Every structure is written in structure tokens, then in C-alpha cells.
Amino acid sequence: MPSGPSVVWLRADLRIVDNPAFSAAAERGSPTVVLYVLDEDPAVARPPGAASRWWLHGSLTALGDALAARGVPLILRRGPAQRIVRELAEELDAGAVYWNRRYGAGERAQDAAIKREARGARREARSFDGSLLFEPWTIERPAGGPYAVYSAFWRACLATGGPRQPLPTPALDGLPDAPAGDDLADWGLLPAIPWAAGLTETWTPGEAGAQARLTEFARTVDDYARGRDRPGADATSRLSPHLRFGEVSPHQVWHAVAAGRGGAAAAKFGAELGWREFNYSLLFFTPDIAARNLREEFDAFPWRTAEPGELERWQQGATGFPLVDAGMRQLWRTGWMHNRVRMVTASFLVKNLRLDWRIGEDWFWDTLVDADPANNAANWQWVAGSGVDAAPYFRVFNPILQSRKFDPEGDYLRAWVDELAGVPAPGVHEPVGTPGYPPPMVDLKRSRAEALAAYDSIRR
């Protein structure tokens, strides 16, 4: 086996601490080079949307700086990852290639092919569990096969004894005179529109930003249980994009916030991490989760065809329903939306407008900084009722009742809908006739009844 340097190939794990691939390279003891490949082949993985590309640029910039401070080079290459990993390993006469696993079908096939090539070259190639608390194939029903119900799945996860402890900071040695890579600016990841200004004002991509956010949330987690459903409160973790890009590991989050803390808030947040695990189990066992209904009866659902301008009103936050509009405008300006409002805006699209959930999933994929191949699709299917463990179809989120309940003073509504800045509660929840604000685009009661009738037609 060659005794040359180690190559650590990063994907959705853009951090140094608690990174099993880095720990393996440090244990091996040879000089290390770090590779990131922008592989945009849709047969391998879904190419990132615009907001994710913005985040990726910032995350790679931060990671490159952090590695350079340790004397370790970050090599950027663009193209088919299987070829690039092989060519770099041959160029370096590398003794080992390490990476952390991903769970899509194309990603797994690519990993297996790289391992086969490495064996043929008598080169060590190993993958690790750096992105999930529990590997999908380790959590099965007693009778075999994956769980289809979240509550049973999460009980089985917790019965394993809990997630491992985070790994320590690895001691890495860089390789002098490492090969050159691409210039990150040449990848064109940053959008050429003013939209990016709102993202920059809101987020700090990178491992340091992730750790700062985790530290702050761990300090205030006791507010989570009572404030998590209020979109106007700063009670949620906002760790989702950092988890999506692996700038912080779920093990770090679990042990900083959920494990051993006690209390309703820590337990509730731990259960939310459980939903992420469950959604990745769904992705692992049903790789086309973003393309097909997990409940096959929805294949016959009579979705409407959007009328001209109808979809754009939803995308731009001009539906005439303040909570929907506030959420969609928050999404556009910051690349993120509060979870309660995500459910409301998704319900409005698939039930009140009765447009295919895949249309909304695709818009969120392009505009969310935390657009995740498992969570995004699974959560849309949950709202649509087409998922394996989904909200019942008759649960239609009424945006007026939801804003009255979770934003009673209208602070969130006024923060994001400029036309409502001077409208006091309770009128801000139904501001019909407010100058400059659009009228409601649907009748909530009638559209709900039509959606339920459509659902009854596929049940029959």
C-alpha cells in the first residue's frame, strides 16, 4: 500500500472539529491535503440552488482560511468527483483517501466506485459517519426494514444508548508544495443580484459562525419550548444551514443542547434533531423522495394548473394573507423562514391553491440557505399529506388563525410586510382594504372545501 499523503475529500462536512475523516488522517500521521469537488452531475446529487451556492462560497472561504492557518492546503476542483479524486490521488501517490458519507443513491454509488478503484490501486479508501447521529441502516423495525412512523423511529434511536461523543480537534500536517486548484471566484457561486445583500446581513457561513450560533443557542435553549412556534421571537436555533453544510456536526449540537440537559426545551429540540434523522432515513430508503409521492394514491391527485401570475404571487409574498406574505418575503430577503411559517406557506400552496407540492419544494430548494436533500422534500410531503408519516390531508393551516395564535400583536407581520407597518392588531391579521396591500387571492373556506373534495376523490 502506498505510504504517501492522505487526501481528505470534503462534501457536506465543511468543518475541522468532530470530522471523522480528518481524525483518520491525523491518526495515519502522513501529510494531509484537503479536496473539495464541485460535481454538478444531477445523476450523482441534485445541484445546489442559488441560496445554497451563496452559502457554499462563504463556507469554503472560511474553511480555506482555517486550514491555511494550520498549514493544510484546500484544493478546489470542478468536474466529475470520481475522476478528480482518482487523478489527485495518483498525482500525489496518496496512501489513503478519507471522506464522510452522504446518503443519496447517486452519492452512494459514486463512493462505492471510488472505493473499488482505490482497492485496485492498493490505496486505502474509507468513509465515515460524520453527518448523522444514527446511520439509516442501523435503525430498523424489529421485523426488519425501515420505520415509516417518526415516533417509533425516534424511540428506536434513543434505545441505542444515544449518539457518540464529538471527536477532538485533529492534529494535521500539511503537504508542502501541494497541487494547485481552482480559484473559488471562478466558480461563479455568488448571485449577481441585490438579493445577496440580505443573506450577508443575516448569516455568517463557516465553522466559526456555526460554533458561535451553537454557543448562543445553548445559552438560551430554555426559551425554546415556549417560543419555538412564535415567528416573531428569536427562540429557534437557526443552526439548520450550518448543519446542512456540515459546519457543525449533529453530535456537537446534541451534546451541547440536548444530552443530559433535562427539561422540556432540551427534549423538544432533541426531538427536532430526530426529525432530521428520520428524513435522512427516508432519503436513504427512497432516494427519489423529491420527485415522487411516497403515498402512491397521491399520484392520482387532481392538482390545479396555476393561472398566469398565480404562482408568482405566492413566491413574491403578495397573496393577501399577511402570514403567508411575511414568510415568503422573509425567505426572499434572508434565505430562511421560521418553521411554523414554512408549514403555513406550504399548506397555502398545496391546499388553498392546490398546486403540486413539487413546485413549492423546487422554489424552497432554490431560495433556502438550508435547502437539504432530505429535509426539504420530506417536509413538503409531510404538509401535502403524501409522505409516509405525514400530516393528515384534512389539516389545512388557516393563515389568519395561525397568525392570530402565534403572532397575536402582529410584530412578525409588520417586520416583513412593509405595507402593514402602520396597521395595529388585531386588524393586521385581516388587512383588507389597506392601501398598497393586495386583496386575498382565494377564499379560504371555499378553497379548503375544494381541496378536501379533491382528496376524497383519490380515496374513493
In this prediction, residue 193 carries a pLDDT of: 80
Residues 149 and 219 in one domain: yes
Q: What is the pLDDT of residues 3-46, one digit of tens each?
A: 799 999 999 999 999 999 999 999 999 999 999 999 999 999 99
Would strands 6-10 and 124-128 be described as parallel, antiparallel, or unpaired? unpaired
Final residue before a domain boundary, out of 130, 147, 173: 130
Out of 112-126, 218-232, 376-390, least confident range: 218-232
- Angle formed by the axes of helices 150-158 and 263-285, nearest 10°: 110
In a domain, 171, yes or no: no
Final residue before a domain boundary, out of 111, 130, 149: 130
Q: What is the pLDDT of residues 270-314, one digit of tens each?
A: 999 999 999 999 999 999 999 999 999 999 999 999 999 999 999
In this prediction, residue 261 carries a pLDDT of: 67
**What CATH number is associated with residue 94?**
3.40.50.620
Quick check: 422 pLDDT over 90?
yes
The pTM score is 0.97
| Mean pLDDT confidence for 236-265 | 91
In a domain, 219, yes or no: yes
In contact, 294 and 403? CB cutoff 8 Å: no
Q: What domain range is 245 assigned to?
A: 132-165+206-285
Q: What is the pLDDT of residues 78-100, one digit of tens each?
A: 999 999 999 999 999 999 999 99
Q: What is the pLDDT of residues 333-363, one digit of tens each?
A: 999 999 999 999 999 999 999 999 999 999 9
| Mean pLDDT confidence for 433-448 | 97
Q: What is the pLDDT of residues 320-337, one digit of tens each?
A: 999 999 999 999 999 999
Residues 227 and 362 in one domain: no
State how many domains the chain has.
Answer: 3
Confidence of residue 167 (pLDDT cuts 50, 70, 90): very high
In this prediction, residue 318 carries a pLDDT of: 98
Look over the chain and give the mean of its residue pLDDT values, rounded to a whole number.
Answer: 96
- Rounded alpha-carbon distances, angstroms, from residue 156 to 150, 166, 298, 317: 10, 21, 29, 40
> Any alpha helices (H) in 173-262, and if so which ranges?
195-202, 207-220, 224-227, 240-244, 250-253
Q: What is the pLDDT of residues 399-413, one digit of tens each?
A: 999 999 999 999 999
Long-range contacts of 389-394 (CB under 8 A, 24+ apart): 389/148, 389/149, 389/150, 389/278, 390/295, 393/351, 393/451, 393/452, 393/455, 394/452, 394/455
Residues 17 and 146 in one domain: no
Quick check: 222 pLDDT over 50?
yes
Burial of 116 (0-12, 13-18, 19+ CB in 10 A): exposed
Using a pLDDT cut of 70, give the percent of the chain over it.
99
In this prediction, residue 265 carries a pLDDT of: 85
Residues 254 and 350 in one domain: no
What are the residue numbers of the active site?
Answer: 272, 275, 303, 339, 357, 380
| Mean pLDDT confidence for 424-452 | 97
Residues 306 and 253 in one domain: no
**What CATH number is associated with residue 214?**
1.25.40.80
In this prediction, residue 1 carries a pLDDT of: 45
In contact, 400 and 321? CB cutoff 8 Å: yes
Quick check: 262 pLDDT over 70?
no
In this prediction, residue 113 carries a pLDDT of: 98
In contact, 137 and 108? CB cutoff 8 Å: no
Cα atoms in the 13 Å half-sphere on the side-chain side of 429: 15
Confidence of residue 456 (pLDDT cuts 50, 70, 90): very high
In this prediction, residue 447 carries a pLDDT of: 98
Final residue before a domain boundary, out of 285, 318, 346: 285
In a domain, 175, yes or no: no
**What CATH number is associated with residue 434?**
1.10.579.10
Q: What is the pLDDT of residues 177-191, one digit of tens each?
A: 999 999 999 999 998
